[in-house]
Chain A
């Protein structure tokens, strides 16, 4: 099972084809001779080759379906199978985005119901389902903040405040909107440092991007004061919804003082991560910002559902309407759980995280030692053995994907652990046992950790060589030279 799999190009044999097509049943037209290409070096393989190749590749992956995936900040919860079935219903999957609106009322109604559900969960007044990912939703949200200030004739605001614990997408999204960022420090309890924030709150501030619970997994104890300070200087509060899994049914972000927030449907609402997409990052806003949302969005008029463009929309952020297939999965999940089930999600996500926190802090210290939300951060070792070695050794045990490491940036040797609510106590206990064993090995046999993983399809890979001499595609010449 750990044998290397050739590239599909290396399995190619002239004349093979994995799928046959109908023969031409209309008279051929003249092809435009001077426009035609000569060759197309795609692989030529049979159907059985395709199946074995991709099955072999799949077997080289670790995934939620194969085991525990406590990757902090990513909410790698179990992805219910029924969601896959509903997303593939031909009535939903086989629809074209430009069909006359009366022929796709089911799609629009589903989107409308999802908009309403996200409003109910978050407390926001309006939702656009368009953004394709969390970072895409952030970008839309910051554009909305910009449009709001400009609509009021307030062009002087150039700055977005971002805590030092923020995800990298926050400053990057801000920069794409033409804003400058100012970083706000965290205090010793992991909250926004109020003194630092006060010195930055000026009439130049367009808003603040805040993840709450933050990337340390902590609910900001001063959240209401933070919102008051930012609102007090005329700024808006952007909520990064990455960590919404902690507060479903516990609190509504709009009630807490946020004006704009994106949802990560692929985290909180169980849609699969797909090896890195597709996700969906709908954006929710308070009533005063509803006119600026990316359009179109769905409105209900009696029994009919229609597309509407918000009057002062920042514009569309993608073609068509959103990652509809992902929206179907998220809607299925919400319809399955209801309000009661969603609250249970957050309660158990937080319970599981705190249970692991108290068990693991006996091995490595927590970054901030207080009750956490759905995740927490440990400070790993920095001696002969480092956090990277712990992560790599954990792979050898085979029970868990390593946590997120070296993030947030404010914690040296960070190990960021998010168990999610879909893991049993038995799984958590196994993880604690493995981590304890690894800590023991770190003391007695550091070389074992340095060379880990030992039992994987490939061992540690040379990332420096990959970046210095990039090979980014298959090339016949390169392959032959290597052979």
Chain B
């Protein structure tokens, strides 16, 4: 396959115009010893052959169109209305680039403005940016932002141990070159009250997750107390959270969080084996100049007509270079567009309905598993749509056996916690009908024997 439209005759004509005799003459600056190396790749293929190759790879997977899955843990299977993919597939959206020329990019700009507005509504925050790479990098950037809000004078970030383990790893990767110390997540016993007690004059932020990695919901008074303790020391509070849950529970803005962020994949983006996803990120108006990432603002054109532009770019790398708030260049615009379309399609009632369906299905499933011999529900606190169960055998072994039933079980927690071999993090969403939930319970019963 070739996507080059220039014919041999045209090439000859163009070479003559340039004043060289062959294409090789254009590469004289390349060191001769290294010019035209052997590239060891399979032969070119036609479209039909490539499609066949990719289909064969796809068929080696047990995908979730064919398997029933109860995995969550940061990536969630939800129903995506048909309109989302139809709108995303418009070439005018997906083959455009960052809207550097606003007069011919109003579609992308307005859609991002709408996305920012919807994230503000969901989180109860004043300002949202155009998105980050994913939830984990949003957290890392949130920590760096908090460090900068306090002008780099404080060194300590407190992270809850109940934040997704990979998010905490990414926060450490991002801060390894900075004079920043991450504490608080070394012991699972460190609940929010314990974290609040750790905040001192050297602490620039405390980050928590709600619903947390285990699916648990934190009582509002505990969250308020944490915010109060942090603000008493002028430290910032970062709240990570599943945005579907935010249609049901009180949003971070309501209890005084300074930064709300998380993974927005559940809002209209397919699982895609872990990416592309998008991190949503929202903060207070007063801190907006320390926020990373692209921002779209409303303005007027020469005739006074409403229009949208990229704005407050004096924070960004192409202007500030080494003094920028972050090195981030693009956002995940197409994923943010998917989210805007998804939220438009479901609207205020639809999203609340999704959240409630998740909640009720998960509670039905949890109670049913708890009744099974050999299993029990470990999560005792209120939870959203994920919960931890203890299994009669290693969870990974249970999961292997479930494959025979065309079921992919929950996350075997020994992936992150070697001493939790019998624990499984189970997730239910609106895609699970009652017969599907019952089939899972029945299969769990059978594989326990």
Q: Which residues of A contact B37 (CB under 8 A)?
A: 123, 249, 251-252, 255
Q: Which residues of B contact A300 (CB under 8 A)?
A: none
Complex contact A36–B327 (CB within 8 A): no
Q: Which residues of A contact B100 (CB under 8 A)?
A: 71, 404
Query: Could you mark each residue 65-105 of chain A with 1 if its beta carbon is under 8 Å from any beta carbon of chain B, else 0?
Result: 11001010010111110101110111111111111100111
Knowing A61-B104, A63-B95, A135-B327, the reply to whether A24 touches B360 (Cβ < 8 A) is yes
Complex contact B135–A319 (CB within 8 A): yes
Q: Which residues of A contact B408 (CB under 8 A)?
A: 96, 99-100, 103
Complex contact A169–B60 (CB within 8 A): no
- From A192-200, A328-336, A437-445, give the one contacting chain B: A328-336
Complex contact A320–B173 (CB within 8 A): no
- From A229-237, A282-290, A377-385, A467-475, give the one contacting chain B: A467-475
Kindly provide the distance from the CB of B426 to the nearest chain A CB, expressed in whole angstroms: 12
Q: Check A42 for interface membership: any CB of B closer than 8 A.
A: yes
Q: Check B309 for interface membership: any CB of A closer than 8 A.
A: yes
Q: Check A201 for interface membership: any CB of B closer than 8 A.
A: no
Q: Which residue of the partner chain, among A8, A62, A103, contacts B61 with CB atoms under 8 Å? A: A103
The residue on A at minimum CB distance from B57 is A106
Kindly provide the distance from the CB of B243 to the nearest chain A CB, expressed in whole angstroms: 11
Q: Which residues of A contact B97 (CB under 8 A)?
A: 69, 71, 74, 76, 273, 275-276
Complex contact B63–A91 (CB within 8 A): yes
Q: Which residue of the partner chain, among B219, B396, B430, contacts A34 with CB atoms under 8 Å? A: B219
Complex contact A82–B47 (CB within 8 A): yes
Q: Check A41 for interface membership: any CB of B closer than 8 A.
A: yes
- From B190-198, B201-209, B226-234, B300-308, give the one contacting chain A: B300-308
Q: Which residues of B contact A357 (CB under 8 A)?
A: 18
Q: Check A325 for interface membership: any CB of B closer than 8 A.
A: yes
Q: Which residues of B contact A338 (CB under 8 A)?
A: 41-45
Q: Check B391 for interface membership: any CB of A closer than 8 A.
A: no
Knowing A40-B247, A45-B347, A86-B50, the reply to whether A275 touches B94 (Cβ < 8 A) is yes
Q: Which residue of the partner chain, among A40, A69, A323, A460, contacts B103 with CB atoms under 8 Å? A: A460
Kindly provide the distance from the CB of B303 to the nearest chain A CB, expressed in whole angstroms: 6
Bound-state Cα–Cα, A428 to B295, Å: 34
Interface set, chain B 1-32, CB cutoff 8 A to A: 1-6, 10-11, 13-15, 17-20, 23, 25-31
Kindly provide the distance from the CB of B386 to the nearest chain A CB, expressed in whole angstroms: 12
Complex contact A344–B2 (CB within 8 A): yes
Complex contact B90–A37 (CB within 8 A): no
Q: Which residue of the partner chain, among A65, A100, A121, contacts B91 with CB atoms under 8 Å? A: A65
Interface set, chain B 72-93, CB cutoff 8 A to A: 73-75, 77, 79, 81, 83, 85-87, 89-93
Complex contact A105–B60 (CB within 8 A): yes
Q: Check B35 for interface membership: any CB of A closer than 8 A.
A: yes
Q: Which residues of B contact A273 (CB under 8 A)?
A: 94-98, 330
Q: Which residues of A contact B111 (CB under 8 A)?
A: 54, 57, 275
Knowing A273-B96, A423-B5, the reply to whether A143 touches B276 (Cβ < 8 A) is no
Complex contact A60–B107 (CB within 8 A): yes
Complex contact B45–A7 (CB within 8 A): no
Q: Check A363 for interface membership: any CB of B closer than 8 A.
A: no
Q: Check A321 for interface membership: any CB of B closer than 8 A.
A: yes
Bound-state Cα–Cα, A359 to B311, Å: 35
Complex contact A41–B350 (CB within 8 A): no
Bound-state Cα–Cα, A395 to B101, Å: 9
Kindly provide the distance from the CB of A381 to the nearest chain B CB, expressed in whole angstroms: 19
Bound-state Cα–Cα, A371 to B102, Å: 33
Q: Check A430 for interface membership: any CB of B closer than 8 A.
A: no
Complex contact B321–A172 (CB within 8 A): yes
Bound-state Cα–Cα, A27 to B323, Å: 56
Kindly provide the distance from the CB of A415 to the nearest chain B CB, expressed in whole angstroms: 13
The residue on A at minimum CB distance from B350 is A17
Q: Which residues of A contact B329 (CB under 8 A)?
A: 133-135, 168-169
26 contacts between A and B (CB under 8 A): A5-B110, A35-B217, A57-B110, A98-B75, A99-B69, A106-B60, A251-B30, A252-B34, A273-B98, A274-B93, A275-B111, A276-B97, A277-B131, A278-B332, A314-B176, A316-B169, A320-B166, A324-B275, A336-B45, A337-B2, A340-B44, A355-B14, A358-B18, A371-B18, A421-B4, A467-B313
Q: Which 3 A-B pairs have the closest CB atoms?
A: A91-B58, A320-B274, A65-B91
Contacts A29-B359, A355-B14, A458-B305 aside, 15 further interface pairs with beta carbons under 8 A come to A8-B114, A21-B354, A21-B357, A35-B250, A50-B83, A51-B87, A96-B408, A135-B327, A135-B328, A177-B176, A274-B332, A351-B23, A371-B28, A421-B4, A473-B127
